[in-house]
Amino acid sequence: MAHKHETWGWMLAVDFFFAGMGGAMLVIAGLSDLFLGVGMTSVLGNLLGPCFVGLGACLLVLELGRPFQSWRVFMNPKAILTFGAWNMLFAIGSGFIFASFGIGALPWSNSIPVREFFAVTNVIFGMVVATYPGVLLARHKSRPFWTGAGIMGLFVISSLVTGAAAHMISQYVYGAISSIVSSWGIVDASSSAVLRGLPFFVAGLLALQLILWIGYVWIKHSGSTKRETIAAERWISGNYAMPLRVVSSF
């Protein structure tokens, strides 16, 4: 039986990237605040997390078409898109509220219990958003290479890598403009967790991701269906073989 294969547009790929990165930034910010102490990530990084999720959501709306009817995606509780849309909305709201606690001029900035509450919601909604692209891919059997639970874990790791890198870059940028924003009542962020701990975290995740990708391709190549084997062949001896070998050699 012939299977029709349709390619995704570039906007969906960019949506996966930014939404996953933004969700992971929320997770890292929330966990750092809960277990390492207040102000372990920069206010800039905390603000960029929900911004990236929002950017991904906008690209998803454009990719789906009919942007002026995008509200309909919130109306079907049985659809996976509806579940993802609501979680992205909650993640954006939670992220912005959490980031506002880093602005000392705001009256609620010293409310520790409320800050911890939104740190927890950041972790929950951020993790769902970071996992969501893998869930969407895993459900589409028409694309055999991307199906199965394994792709979910790979997307979570990828999101955590990009999210941690974004926090590090944000800290560098924030340090460069700290003399300007300090007059706005923004609390300075400690650079110890961001600039010393996260690079090792990223390096460990990259090594794990490489191992899992090699295992994932091997499993697909020796999978139970012929279509999975054909799809994996492109990574082993087809179009994508050389990039995979180059990456595997490092």
Share of the chain above pLDDT 90, in %: 31
Statement: residue 250 has pLDDT above 50: no
- Give the number of other Cβ atoms within 10 Å of residue 155's Cβ: 22
The model's confidence at residue 18, banded by pLDDT at 50, 70 and 90, is very high
pLDDT, mean over the chain: 79
Q: What is the pLDDT of residue 3?
A: 45
Domain positions in the chain are: 10-193
Statement: residue 4 has pLDDT above 50: no
**How large is the average pLDDT for residues 37-45?**
85
Q: What is the pLDDT of residue 71?
A: 64
**Of 125 and 238, the one with more pLDDT:** 125
Q: What is the pLDDT of residue 141?
A: 67
Statement: residue 191 has pLDDT above 70: no
Both tokens assigned to 210: 């490489």
Q: What is the pLDDT of residue 42?
A: 86
CATH topology of domain 10-193: Formate dehydrogenase/DMSO reductase fold (1.20.1630)
pLDDT digits (tens, 9 = 90+) for 71-85: 666 666 666 777 778
Q: Which value, in Å, is the radius of gyration of the alpha carbons in the chain? A: 20
pTM for this model (two decimals): 0.82
Both tokens assigned to 105: 């001029």
SS (H, E, C) the chain: CCCCCCCCCHHHHHHHHHHHHHHHHHHHHHHHHHHCCCCCCCHHHHHHHHHHHHHHHHHHHHHHCCHHHHHHHHCCCCCHHHHHHHHHHHHHHHHHHHHHCCECCCCCCCCHHHHHHHHHHHHHHHHHHHHHHHHHHHCCCCCHHHCCCHHHHHHHHHHHHHHHHHHHHHHHHHHHHHHHHHHHCECCCCCHHHHHHHHHHHHHHHHHHHHHHHHHHHHHHCCCCHHHHHHHHHHHCCCCHHHHHHHHHC
Q: What is the pLDDT of residue 208?
A: 92
- Among the listed residues 205, 228, 172, 178, the one whose alpha carbon sits nearest the alpha carbon of residue 45: 172
The model's confidence at residue 220, banded by pLDDT at 50, 70 and 90, is confident
Q: Name, in order, each residue with C-beta under 8 angstroms of 195's C-beta and a sequence gap of 6 or more.
A: 168, 171, 172
Kindly provide the b/e burial profile for residues 55-70, where b requires at least 16 CB atoms within 10 angstroms of the residue's own CB: bbbebbbebbeeeeeb
Statement: residue 233 has pLDDT above 80: no
Statement: residue 196 has pLDDT above 80: no
The model's confidence at residue 114, banded by pLDDT at 50, 70 and 90, is very high
**How large is the average pLDDT for residues 218-241?**
71
Statement: residue 241 has pLDDT above 70: no
pLDDT digits (tens, 9 = 90+) for 81-108: 777 788 899 999 999 999 999 887 788 8
